[in-house]
């Protein structure tokens, strides 16, 4: 039985080599601020800092920075009798295993031009599908007079705070299931703006599948997105903010068909809820999010409704939500960036090897995604998960997660319960 998969040796060796060139990146190095130069920011990964690191170079016409990341997961399952019956009926097998979540290499920089212009390219080994994928790749054009930026290329749609954030930076071990049907990447153009005086922000985006038609992540032939938000208050020095945003999204499913499914917030586990394939010509998604930060505390909630319509079949509606509370035991606070209006990587006040034990974060989260329709047409399952977990940020580059998940699943006329015991090792080279 295949317990885990590793990326191709060359790229894995490259990541280890980058660590060995300057071991201080992992331990023993003075931690630099993760505050970005907000004149031009490449949204998914922080690539430019006030002080150049060993992995950033200046070639005159452009800067050049190399980064990357690696995630290894572990999961063990324990089910009650109804849970085991549900797994049998769904024809899924729960394996206790180690699994490579992803491995990525990122290159990027800023051109030496009057108009702020940045570039980025990235590739990732997808441990789930065991294939290489082109990740966020394109150009970022800064529009300082309009307090905005434009990304042209392959990027994130801009739907849901954790979905917009870098995959290595959110507080949870996985994003909430209610946004799993939103593709992680899309090809097109995204404009985002922040108005400092009013503290209003927004995103307008349009995408199609001309370049990604055959790729597994491309489940829509075209998508359009609007995100509008407001910061009622934002005090960077006191580390206090209130973030409110709403979303409206239109999508045209590939080939007039769609399937919604989600894992129990464990990439090494099978899909617990699954709508099966159904006819859909267009889909409308609506939702909102609220996040509050005060020092070492963060509270947040999101809720979404996804409506699928078809000219030849009945409509379908699925809804989901989540709530999270986070507290840093060691006094850190999760940074917030008004470029893109997202949370960033956690700074580590006292890394391991520098007289401290890193940063420790306690997280409690509840999520739900319901694929059981009242009409009975689709009974894909109603899944709720309760998650207490601890994040240990050993250094700026290394993070270890200790996770317990309690999943309640309503499917096949049964209510099953599954205990998930998870661990994650994560290395991120900025």
Burial 363-389 (b: 16+ CB within 10 A, else e): bebbbbbbbbbeeeebbbbbbbbebeb
Contact 178, 321 (CB under 8 A): yes
Per DSSP, the residues of 329-375 read TTS----EETTTTEE-PPP-SS-BTTTB--EEEEEEEEEEEEEE-TT
Residue 2 lies in a domain: no
pLDDT in single tens digits along all 430 residues of the chain: 333 334 443 444 444 444 433 333 333 333 343 333 333 444 434 333 344 678 899 999 999 999 999 999 999 999 999 999 999 999 999 999 999 998 999 999 999 999 999 999 999 988 777 888 899 999 999 999 999 999 999 999 999 999 999 999 999 999 999 999 999 999 999 999 999 999 999 999 999 998 888 787 889 999 999 999 999 999 999 999 999 999 999 999 999 999 999 999 999 999 999 999 999 999 999 999 999 999 999 999 999 999 999 998 999 999 999 999 999 999 999 999 999 999 999 999 999 988 899 999 999 999 999 999 988 899 999 999 999 999 999 999 999 999 999 999 999 999 999 999 999 999 999 7
What confidence score (pLDDT) does residue 417 get? 98
- State the number of CA atoms in the 13 A half-sphere of 119 facing the CB: 9
Does residue 345 belong to any structural domain of this protein?
A: yes
CATH number for the domain that contains residue 54: 2.40.160.10
Please check whether residue 118 lies inside any domain of the structure. Answer: yes
Structure confidence at residue 47 (pLDDT)? 34
In a domain, 341, yes or no: yes
pTM, 2 dp: 0.88
Q: Helix, strand, or coil here: 168?
A: coil
Within a domain: 310: yes
Q: Which residues pair with 298 in a beta bridge?
A: 293, 326
The secondary element (H helix, E strand) that includes residue 19 is helix 9-21
Range of the domain at 422: 9-429
* DSSP designation for 412: T
Q: What whole-number distance in Å separates Cα of residue 67 and Cα of residue 244? A: 31
Q: Is 28 helix (H, G, I), strand (E, B) or coil?
A: coil
Dihedral of CA atoms 81, 402, 21, 120 in degrees, nearest 10, equals: 70
* Domains identified in the chain, total number: 1
pLDDT computed for residue 52 by the predictor = 61
Determine, yes or no, domain membership for 3: no
| Side-chain-facing half-sphere of 167: CA atoms under 13 Å | 20
Q: Is residue 96 in a domain?
A: yes
Determine, yes or no, domain membership for 4. Answer: no
Indicate the SS3 state at residue 286.
Answer: strand
């Amino acid at each position: 039985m295949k317990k885990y998969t590793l990326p191709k040796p060359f790229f894995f060796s490259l990541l280890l080599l980058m660590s060995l060139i300057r071991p201080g990146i992992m331990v023993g190095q003075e931690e630099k601020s993760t505050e970005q130069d907000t004149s031009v920011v490449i949204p998914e990964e922080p690539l430019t800092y006030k002080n150049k690191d060993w992995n950033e170079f200046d070639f005159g016409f452009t800067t050049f920075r190399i980064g990357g990341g690696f995630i290894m997961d572990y999961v063990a399952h324990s089910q009650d009798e109804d849970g085991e019956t549900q797994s049998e009926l769904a024809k899924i097998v729960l394996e206790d295993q180690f699994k490579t979540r992803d491995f990525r290499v990122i290159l990027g920089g800023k051109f030496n031009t009057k108009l702020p212009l940045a570039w980025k390219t990235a590739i990732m080994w997808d441990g789930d599908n065991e294939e290489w994928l082109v990740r966020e790749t394109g150009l970022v054009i800064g529009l300082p007079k309009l307090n905005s930026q434009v990304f042209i290329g392959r990027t994130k749609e801009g739907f849901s705070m954790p979905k917009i954030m870098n995959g290595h930076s959110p507080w949870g071990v996985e994003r909430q299931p209610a946004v799993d049907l939103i593709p992680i990447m899309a090809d097109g153009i995204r404009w985002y703006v922040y108005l400092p005086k009013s503290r209003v922000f927004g995103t307008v985006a349009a995408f199609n599948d001309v370049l990604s038609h055959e790729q597994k992540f491309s489940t829509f032939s075209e998508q359009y997105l609007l995100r509008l938000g407001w910061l009622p208050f934002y005090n960077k020095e006191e580390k206090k903010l209130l973030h409110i945003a709403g979303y409206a999204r239109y999508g045209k499913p590939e080939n007039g068909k769609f399937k919604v499914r989600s894992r129990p917030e464990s990439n090494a586990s099978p899909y617990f809820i699954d709508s099966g394939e159904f006819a859909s010509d267009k889909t409308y998604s609506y939702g909102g999010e609220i996040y509050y930060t005060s020092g070492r505390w963060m509270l947040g909630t999101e809720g979404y409704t996804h409506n699928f319509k078809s000219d030849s079949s009945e409509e379908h509606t699925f809804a989901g939500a989540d709530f999270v509370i986070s507290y840093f035991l060691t006094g850190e606070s999760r940074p917030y960036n008004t470029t893109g209006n997202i949370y960033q990587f956690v700074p580590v006040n006292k890394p391991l090897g520098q007289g401290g034990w890193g940063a420790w974060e306690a997280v409690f989260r509840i999520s739900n995604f319901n694929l059981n329709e009242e009409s009975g047409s689709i009974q894909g399952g109603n899944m709720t998960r309760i998650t207490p977990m601890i994040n240990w940020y050993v250094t700026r580059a290394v993070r270890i997660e200790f996770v317990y998940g309690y999943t309640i699943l309503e499917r096949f006329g049964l209510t099953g319960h599954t205990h998930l015991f998870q661990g994650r090792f994560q290395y991120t080279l900025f």
